[in-house]
Structures are given as structure tokens and as C-alpha cells.
Amino acid sequence: MDFNLFMNDVVDVARQDIREAGYEELKTVEEVDAALNRKGTTLVMINSVCGCAGGVARPAAANAIHYDKRPDHLVTVFAGQDKDATERAREYFEGFPPSSPSFAFLKDGKIVTMLERHDIEGFNAMDVMTKLQQIFDNHCEEV
């Protein structure tokens, strides 16, 4: 099998997983700026093709939002794929080094907190879902 075709399939599945969970995919710098400057709370899932993204981060992202409190906006950028969009998103995460997969939580366009790769890798999806919901409890309104 051609490696590039295989990787395209992996990327397509990773993109589809997070879109189906209800996250808006941001592929350009302009889309990132528009999305991350919205009023309210925004959860950014920094997607990737690694195993901890597919086995932990995306399932946690999909399930954490079925909760009493949740962010106003759910968006995603894809590290290693949509490089310009990912770099722009990371400019909003002041004080946090690049990390993927990861989750950034913003309020009115300003970074509040992040779950970095070290908060995801080595944990299971339920652990990460709980960490996300703790952020929601602290910073989101009830739906």
C-alpha cells in the first residue's frame, strides 16, 4: 500500500471523527481569527494523527460536550496538516508551548487554560473527558 494514500485515509478519518462530534474545522488563518475572536467560551481541539489523539483525545472531545455545562463554540485545527491555521491558533495560546493533541480553552479570544499532550498521553478517554468537564464547570454556563 502507498504510504501517502494510507496517511490520507488516516487524516480523513481523524477529520471526520471530530467534525461528526460537532467541532467546526478551521483550515485557514482567516477562519482561525474569525473563530477565536468570537465572544464567549471556545474549546479548541488541536487534532493530530498520533495514537493518543485517536484513542484518547478525539473520544474525550466527542463525549465531554454531552454535559450540563459546555463551551459556546467548539473548533478544531489539525497539527501537521493545516500548518498555517495551527500556527495562527497557537499564537492565541500565549504561555503554552506547541503541543498536539491538546485542548485550548479561551474566553472572549483570550487563553484561559490548556490540556497539553502530557495531560492526555498515558491517560484514558474518560480521564481526559473528566478534565475537560472540570474546565467547563469552572468557566462555562449551564446549557
DSSP output for 36-66: HTSSSEEEEEEE-SSHHIIIIIHHHHHHHTS
Q: Is the pLDDT of residue 38 over 60?
A: yes
Residue 5 has pLDDT above 70, yes or no: no
Percent of the chain, pLDDT > 70?
A: 95
- Note whether 51 and 81 are within 8 A (CB): no
CATH of 3-139, one of 3.30.1360.20, 3.10.20.30, 3.40.190.10, 3.40.30.10: 3.40.30.10
Residue in 118, 117, 115 with CA at minimum distance from that of residue 132: 115
> Is the pLDDT confidence value at 125 over 90?
yes
pLDDT above 90 (res 61): yes
User: Which residues on neighbouring strands pair with residue 111, listed in sequence order?
Assistant: 106
Residue 6 CA: distances (Å) to CA of 14, 47, 96, 118, 126: 12, 18, 32, 27, 29
* Mean pLDDT, residues 32-53: 95
| Pairing of the two strands 73-78 and 102-107 | unpaired
Catalytic residue list: 50, 52
Q: Average per-residue pLDDT in the chain?
A: 94
Q: Copy the grid coordinates of residue 143.
A: 446549557
pTM of the model: 0.94
pLDDT at 9: 85
**Model pLDDT, residue 3:** 57
What is the per-residue pLDDT across 6-24, written as a single tens digit (0 to 9) for each? 678 888 889 999 999 999 9
For 114, residues 6+ apart whose C-beta sits below 8 A from its C-beta are 93, 96, 99, 102, 103, 104, 105
> String of b and e for 40-65 (b: at least 16 CB within 10 Å)?
ebbbbbbbbbbebbbebbbbbbbbbb
The pLDDT value recorded for residue 121 is: 95
Would you give the DSSP letter of residue 69?
B
Domain boundaries, the chain: 3-139
Give mean pLDDT, residues 79-95. 96
Radius of gyration, CA atoms only, the chain:
14
| pLDDT recorded at residue 66 | 96
